[in-house]
Every structure is written in structure tokens, then in C-alpha cells.
Amino acid sequence: MSLVELHAIHKSFGALEVLKGIDLSIDEGQVIALIGKSGSGKSTLLRTINGLEAIDDGVIMVDGKKISERDTDLLALRLQVGMVFQQFNLFPHYTALENVMLSPQVVKKQSKAEAREIAEEMLAKVGLADKMMHYPDQLSGGQQQRVAIARALAMKPKVLLCDEVTSALDPELVNEVLAVVRQLAEEGMTLVMVTHEMRFAREVCDKLVFMHQGRIHETGDPEEVFSNPKTPELSSFVGGLA
Ligand code: ADP
Ligand code: MG
């Protein structure tokens, strides 16, 4: 069984059906790139996986446990599924260290000492050992996003969902964040990444998922899918990026 399994996921906002029957399995250690035009349902799909968005129909299993609307233990789910967003959403009045220490203490009831040890470890992992006492406004966008990644990692998630984590960054800051994600991938972290960085998708990801109008339109090995798109929609999407 895969770590995450989605079966026939449907989701509408009012009359707008945004997810029209999504089937996707995510194996442990797998790195998936989720691509597609704006509005195709990528963010909504990620948000269903960690329970930020309730689904109308279908089944989501995380680590063998069924997540349904009625008996979802959202807290337990969110402990296993980490998420990083385009906007870093750090608390401005907390240092980098305090930002990373917060959830483990509040949600996991870790002691301050325990939370601090893990936070220091995760900030070092993302290359910010020397910036732990800085406040967000003393950090660059790339550094803030790395704090946000450390914050997600401090919860020791089984899978990490990244939604356009480099899209809000100045171009020169993109690579330092991608390098951190690449390192996580190499260490065996299970990752689902919505990204426009096609070179990164090719080099780092095991599987490419192309969404179009609420459906998985094409999927497969990134290299193969990119070099031989089978649908005009993917051809045009890839062409538009070139
Ligand atoms: P993507 O991430 O691929 O750009 P989204 O999942 O954000 O796509 O959005 C898919 C569609 O759902 C869009 O048409 C968007 O406007 C709509 N949508 C997303 N969230 C909401 C919401 N909370 N309420 C109403 N419509 C929404
Ligand atoms: Mg989105």
C-alpha cells in the first residue's frame, strides 16, 4: 500500500467542480511534481491531502488510515502531512527559532527544550544555523521560505506538500530554496511539489502529474512525459513555458 492514496476525489466550490475524480497514489520516498495551468485544481488537491479542504466524494488514505469527512482526526492527519506555501506566513514578532519551535510545543505538547533541540536541528538542515535569532524582516525571502520549510519539518511529517514555494521569490533566491527541497528528496522524504520549475521537476522528481481542468490529464516519468507529451494540452503547456 502507498503512503497516500486518493481514490475518485471530487470537490466543488458551489457550482464549480474543481476536482473531477482524482486518483493518485504516493509511495513512500516518492517525489512528485504537480504541474498545470493556473486554476486547474493543483492547490485544492494539495489542500485536500492535509485536510485543509473537505472533499465531496472519494476516499483519502494516509498511512493506511481512511480520512473521511465525518471521522477525520484532522490533528492527527496534519501531524503526518506537512505543507509549505507560496507565502511563508511566519509570525513577524517571533524569531526564526521561535517560529519553528511553536507547533511542536502547541500541537505536539513537546517541552520547550525538546522543541528547541529539534528546531535548531531543522534550521541547521536548511542552512540557517547562523540566523536562528533573526526576525522574519531581517531575513531575505529565500531565508524566510527556508524557515517555513524547517517549521514544517520540525513536525516530522511523513509527507511534505509544497505549493509553489519559489513563486513569490526574486529569481536569484529561487535556487537556495530548490537546493533545500532537492536535499530533502535525496534524503528520502516523500514530497509532492506544485512547481513551475520544469528543470527541477525533470532532475529531481520521480513522477510528473499534469492537471488540466480538475483531472489528471497525463502522468508518468518526468523525462518521458516532457519529451513525448501525448496530449495537445500538455504540449501547449510545456511550449508556453519554453
Ligand atoms: P491552481 O492551484 O491549479 O491554480 P486552485 O486549486 O487554486 O488551482 O483553484 C482551482 C479553481 O477553484 C479555481 O477556479 C479557483 O478560483 C477555485 N477555488 C479555489 N479555492 C476556492 C474557494 N475557496 N472558493 C471558491 N473557489 C475556489
Ligand atoms: Mg495554486
| Domain at 12, CATH number | 3.40.50.300
For the purposes of burial, counting CB atoms within 10 Å of the CB of 241, is it exposed (0-12), middle (13-18) or buried (19 or more)?
exposed
Which residue range is the domain that position 18 belongs to? 4-241
For 5-14, 71-80, 98-107, 206-215, which range has the lowest pLDDT when averaged over its residues?
Answer: 71-80
Q: How far apart are CA 85 and CA 33, in angstroms?
A: 15
Quote the CA–CA distance of 228 and 196 in Å, as a whole number: 18
d(CA 238, CA 242): 7
Q: Kindly give the distance from the C-alpha atom of residue 68 to the centroid of ligand 2, in angstroms, as a whole number.
A: 23
Ligand 1 pocket, residue 166 CB under 6 Å: no
Residues with Cβ within 8 Å of 75's Cβ and at least 6 positions away in sequence, in order, are 107
Percent of the chain with pLDDT over 70: 96
15 lines ligand 1 (CB under 6 A): no
Atom from ligand 1 closest to the CA of residue 163: 2
The CA 98 to ligand 2 mean position distance, Å, reads 28
Q: What is the pLDDT of residues 172-210, one digit of tens each?
A: 999 999 999 999 999 999 999 999 999 999 999 999 999
Cell for 201?
521537476
Q: What pLDDT is attached to residue 239?
A: 83
Spatial distance between the Cα atoms of 67 and 18, rounded to a whole number of angstroms: 20
Helix H or strand E encompassing 31: strand 31-36
> Nearest ligand to the C-alpha of residue 18?
1
Ligand number with the minimum distance to the CA of 19:
1
CA–CA dist 13, 178 (Å, integer): 32
| Residues at Cβ < 5 Å from ligand 2 ion | 42-43
User: Is-contact 10 45, C-beta < 8 A?
Assistant: no
Q: Is the CB of 36 under 6 A from ligand 1?
A: yes
pLDDT tens digits, residue range 119-178?
A: 999 999 999 999 999 999 999 999 999 999 999 999 999 999 999 999 999 999 999 999
Q: Burial level of 105, CB count in 10 A (0-12/13-18/19+)?
A: middle
| Distance in angstroms (rounded) separating the CA atoms of residues 45 and 39 | 11
Ligand 1 pocket, residue 214 CB under 6 Å: no
Name the residue of 17, 22, 43 whose CB sits within 8 Å of the most ligand 1 atoms, as the mutation to test its pocket: 43
Tell me which residue of 145, 24, 30, 144 sits closest to 84, measured CA to CA: 145
The residue contributing the CA closest to ligand 1 atom 14 is 39
> Cα separation of 112 and 8, whole Å?
42
Asked if residues 37 and 237 have their Cβ atoms less than 8 Å apart, the reply is yes
The tally of domains found in the chain comes to 1
Beta partners for residue 10, in sequence order: 20, 57
Q: How far apart are CA 187 and CA 6, in angstroms?
A: 25
**Cβ of 43 below 6 Å from ligand 1:** yes
